[in-house]
Structure 1
């Protein structure tokens, strides 16, 4: 409902711009202005549809800004009927006359009154996911079709254009690149993205924002951009909320549930969210290696039981019309226990076969604490905001590796503790300037530290301490007029990192780094016509090594490979250029994007032979020379008929990959092609069907070629209880075609495949309750749970 209103407003705005050019300039000398506020709360109402008519015929129009103000210029000196419309409010009509003596009329304050009808329920989750293209980001409003696609955030991410999630490692990539920054409610988290995507229930997600070229107001991490996961926070009046319950049936059942509530009265708004995930996952795979005189096969079997609890509780206190205080906390409890078997079979009788059993438990509690104060000055749109955010994550792993070889067995207990803290303080100031311009400045301090300890055989083995401090300042200036808009800015950062690594019977290793850098950005938008718009943007980005990439304590281990970090890694820098063209048609909108990136000091995976065991490999990271990548995307949100609509996306990327395998430097040019389509069929008012298909093309790696994979999903949803409840069902990968398979020839010929519980059936139920009015009051940007700032002039 809210999205439909915004689309209507946007179309009206574009029509207004087009209409301005259709009347001879000699008579367009008048203007009408004013401010629209809520009659009861006296708060400004943004995005109100302002329409000018004559004899019932539409002449031109516009929308109100964030502060409720509107101005319609270049009007003929005639009599008009001005209509004000917004969802949830009564329409108001005012007659205005422009003449020689009153060329510019100020309507002062327009009071809109809420509809008296009480809504029976609050629609928290939409039937169909919708896609919005903004100046600096693509916003996916998650609907029931995506929620039923999977139990976790990682599973529904694979259904979104531009995003891919590796089903085995849960590594997430944006536009074919894994150097992407993951935020939750616009805030950083110390949880590794591969773990985070497994912990967040899909029913707890409200929006997913893809920000491929962030402005200078954003932290510059992430070569391919930012993915912001927005959790539910309802802002309706009174008490309201929703309950989601779902079960996924595969080899074993998995439960996915969430509860959302909101109570808003007077000066207070209290909200809460709880998400629960529980279930077992069974995976298996094999690798066949063909080495001279030592052919071998490796078989894998994995079984994990994961349980996660996600809590979010917050309160907003509206002190008065100019001052607001907000606070919230997000708590995440993740438990995992697993058992795996790895069998290594050698054809050479001189080498004993190996069987390794891995029995482990992981516990990862994390918490985020956020305080925010915002003050509005007397000048409309001028404000200052101070925010404090603290995130703490403590992970423990207790694993016993039991190895059988040559009729003997040995145990290798591993205990790892990871404690990560992240503190961020930022101060932002916004000042609207004349001629539809805006100035934004800000300061930020971030302090991140980690303390990791590795005990082996119940005794000390090594520890790693890492801290980095980032102090930054930014300024952006933007302006909007007629068909053009632009924004320029830069961010200065002082970066300092210190690391210490101690190991048993070894000398202490130290590492430090300090860099002062500017990160410029720029945006230019142009509306060629009502249905055609262009946007060109540029930004300089940085990929600072993650904790996992610099931590020399092993991340995981098998009988043949161990993964460790490199504390001497340097940051890599990216200059990113992007051109976006959006075409609106009678059936929807189509967006085409081309991008080009130049990367320096690229961070790449490194495979080396273990110096202590020639039969084992070490997987780590290193910096290599400069690199380039480019690609194109086409996506559409289309309504073909009244009963058939679809979200369509296809993309292709070209890049050069580099790395070292067995002391040999490898360089290859590769391309990646992906395609997705999500169809929705409306059988009746309450019954919907979904048909989803995806194809992920083959991808060349340093050591092997990953073969293509694809799947088809079929789903349905039915509204009950007068629209308050929805029953959903989905059959995923109905042809059981989704698996990871590969062929390789470095450092020797090998092939293999991995399989997971891709084929499954999901059943879910969503119930919405509450009776508050759907008031569309102005909310702070932080209330939308979006990343900081808007990134451009709208």
Structure 2
């Protein structure tokens, strides 16, 4: 392990110093700085990615240039002289300053740009964002540029995001850890079943996804490995415009959705609505060898599993932004989702004796009806006190989510009925204040209150009889969190600093009403954060950061309801789980060339009371077959060290590449002690150390006849566990698209999992059973979609006409400098 750490650190430092030496001291001592800000004239909001170019009078050759940051600020180094200065942004009228004499450091002040109505009505691609934008503190994935997710869901979107993986069951992980926080428009998602909710939200409702691996104090402390922020589409263009998307696919899938926007000088109306019908076919198997106490073979059991899930859902969102005054903006929106579904899960059991002679077969069929309904109202108020970033924001949201499932499990000659009804209510309030101080300084402070209530009724009956008290329960989960934070950032020469402190007070009640088991967990914690950045040059930057993070167990982790799909391999939540605390350290380096953007980071995470899934024999048997239970526990300690590379490369105008590689080592320490149903004390040693890695490559090529071709390949490496190992997993997706109808329409065809290879495979070794299992949640899928746009450019750049902070909710200011 020490050798690996040393080698990784050596490679990282060599790369950093090599690039630094190649860059040299940019600009030299004889250059001066040209600074300023670029704002939208009407809303007085900063324009990110506006371009600034300096040319000699009567010469078209660009001498120097740059782009604006999220605050609309720019800084360009140039030799003293007289220049023509041009400021441009897509779909805006450019501004020129002719023959400006620049002899010393010069501040141009605020440059205001106006929308160009003529350009807005043209359907012309003048510039496109990269599918993946690499920034120092986060990665931004632009959904609109990705053909592979057309007609898909948010799960498909996340599965293409750098550093992010989605397993075959829809569970999301970041840098190999599922200990994350998922936000929607900067607010925590209130979905009861996160994996299912992400599969139901259509991809075309998403504008971009932000991945923040080491968040600052302004963000919730929850999410040990980081935050994923999903930003929904909001219209930006003046007038009436929109997009319609129709899709169909195999297995039987179809959908229809639309995004409409009407914007005037004072009001901006936006809405999204869609219906989808999805069929998901899956399969799996588990082959087990059961052992006698002396280690000899007792018997074999093979389980073959076939699944089919049908989901029908409506997704709608409507809202209005009101420009009350030129400096005050109020946005209100309503989100609504309703889904119904049918699940069919058939398991065939094949029994064999110790010599592997066939002895008989049984089956287990689970037919389930599912339904969910989610409603959320959000309100966001922004008051800008000046155009330098001094502002106050307030957010409020209230939501109600229901999730129901009723099933009949047939296993001749018996049958069981199960019911799982969940109702969750959530109220959130947040206020953030940002005050610029001096040159490059910024103070922030805020409050957030989150108050939730979940009621979950679950029961199992046998042959239509009474509830089984051992498998049935009513769970009441109440969570109240109050938080305060403050942080201060400033810049000294080429160094930028950001120091923050967050305090969170948590009050949780986990009550099992059927057996009067009441549990209260109260705790409060301080969460410091620190970020330091050094600007090596205009094109390269180095950073180091630290933060303390928290992970609270939720959802199925704490629900003691037994997953009864298989009666010999069961899952059960643990209501006695405690939160885990993580100390995160990250060192990052970013370098930009004309055609390449490269980002690398080394990270270390030290977690106490980490959650871990443990498989344990219960002591029970079904027809002579031992019952194995999988349950999350607070294992003990986990230390994770890794490094990551991400780069964008555009070798030609017609070819774009981006890739991501992550290697990590995980060391866990702990044991699990429990008493089985026969009264035996079982102690499981779960100490483990393992290496793993994953990689993703995305290629986008423009073929003849303006046909775009996209290919994405990903591989998750093998990883050893305390009770076995997870095998490697390879997958490939591809897509083709063609613009039609004078570029107002786009036809896209994509194939998900080209080789039908995305299967979760693992080996498990316990004292009395060895098993191999594999599961494929979704088999290969084909999808065809048609997109039609009116009064809207194909590549609508984010002009920040919405005065929100990348989705609002969690936002304060940005990293200083």
TM-score by shorter chain over 0.5: yes
Mean alpha-carbon deviation: is it higher for 343-352 or for 548-557?
343-352
Is residue 140–residue 208 contact of structure 1 (8 Å, CA) maintained in 2? yes
Identify the match of residue 477 of structure 1 among 488, 496, 511: 488
Cα distance change, pair 401–112 in 1 and its aligned pair in 2 (3 A): closer
Alpha-carbon distance, 1:40 to partner: 5.9
2-structure distance, mates of 1:700, 1:151: 32
Is residue 230–residue 785 contact of structure 1 (8 Å, CA) maintained in 2? no
Identify the match of residue 726 of structure 1 among 730, 733, 746: 746
Is residue 588–residue 636 contact of structure 1 (8 Å, CA) maintained in 2? yes
Deviations along 1:486-510, whole A, 9 cap, x unmatched?
A: 211110111111121123xx4x111
- Aligned partner of residue 146 in structure 2, secondary structure: helix
1-structure distance, mates of 2:579, 2:359: 42
Deviations along 1:497-525, whole A, 9 cap, x unmatched?
A: 1121123xx4x111111112111111112
1-structure distance, mates of 2:156, 2:107: 53
Alpha-carbon distance, 1:50 to partner: 4.0
Q: Which residue of 1 aligns with 2:93?
A: 90
Alignment of 1:215-364 (within 5 A): 215-249=216-250, 252-291=251-290, 292-348=297-353, 354-364=362-372
Cα distance change, pair 590–350 in 1 and its aligned pair in 2 (3 A): closer
Q: Which residue of 1 aligns with 2:376?
A: 368
Alignment of 1:125-164 (within 5 A): 130-148=131-149, 151-164=152-165
Q: Which residue of 2 aligns with 1:745?
A: 765
Cα distance change, pair 428–299 in 1 and its aligned pair in 2 (3 A): same
Is residue 453–residue 464 contact of structure 1 (8 Å, CA) maintained in 2? yes
- Aligned partner of residue 257 in structure 2, secondary structure: strand
Cα distance change, pair 283–151 in 1 and its aligned pair in 2 (3 A): same
Q: Which residue of 2 aligns with 1:567?
A: 575
Is residue 356–residue 402 contact of structure 1 (8 Å, CA) maintained in 2? yes
How many corresponding residue pairs?
762
- Aligned partner of residue 325 in structure 2, secondary structure: coil
2-structure distance, mates of 1:175, 1:86: 35
1-structure distance, mates of 2:585, 2:272: 38
1-structure distance, mates of 2:786, 2:654: 23
Is residue 129–residue 142 contact of structure 1 (8 Å, CA) maintained in 2? no
Cα distance change, pair 310–285 in 1 and its aligned pair in 2 (3 A): same
1:626 counterpart = 2:631: no
TM-score (norm 2): 0.86
Identify the match of residue 590 of structure 2 among 582, 594, 604: 582
Deviations along 1:56-78, whole A, 9 cap, x unmatched?
A: 465656666767677879985x5
2-structure distance, mates of 1:665, 1:272: 54
Alpha-carbon distance, 1:189 to partner: 2.1
- Aligned partner of residue 562 in structure 2, secondary structure: coil
Q: Which residue of 2 aligns with 1:117?
A: 118
Alignment of 1:153-192 (within 5 A): 153-167=154-168, 169-191=169-191, 192=193
Cα distance change, pair 257–595 in 1 and its aligned pair in 2 (3 A): farther
Alignment of 1:623-702 (within 5 A): 623-657=634-668, 660=672, 663-684=683-704, 686-702=706-722
Q: Which residue of 2 aligns with 1:433?
A: 437
Is residue 470–residue 495 contact of structure 1 (8 Å, CA) maintained in 2? yes
Q: Which residue of 1 aligns with 2:14?
A: none
Runs of 5+ unmatched residues, structure 2: 1-19, 291-296, 674-681
Cα distance change, pair 739–181 in 1 and its aligned pair in 2 (3 A): same
TM-score (norm 1): 0.88
Q: Which residue of 2 aligns with 1:766?
A: 787
Deviations along 1:196-250, whole A, 9 cap, x unmatched?
A: 221112222221111111110000111111112222222111111111222222x
Alignment of 1:370-385 (within 5 A): 370-378=378-386, 380-385=388-393
Q: Which residue of 1 aligns with 2:517?
A: 509
Q: Which residue of 2 aligns with 1:548?
A: 556
2-structure distance, mates of 1:514, 1:203: 41
- Aligned partner of residue 235 in structure 1, secondary structure: coil
2-structure distance, mates of 1:287, 1:154: 26
1-structure distance, mates of 2:801, 2:549: 32
Deviations along 1:25-62, whole A, 9 cap, x unmatched?
A: 8xx6xx87766555566666565444444444656566
Alpha-carbon distance, 1:326 to partner: 0.9
Alpha-carbon distance, 1:774 to partner: 8.0
Alpha-carbon distance, 1:413 to partner: 1.2
Q: Which residue of 1 aligns with 2:447?
A: 443
Alpha-carbon distance, 1:626 to partner: 1.6
Q: Which residue of 2 aligns with 1:792?
A: 815
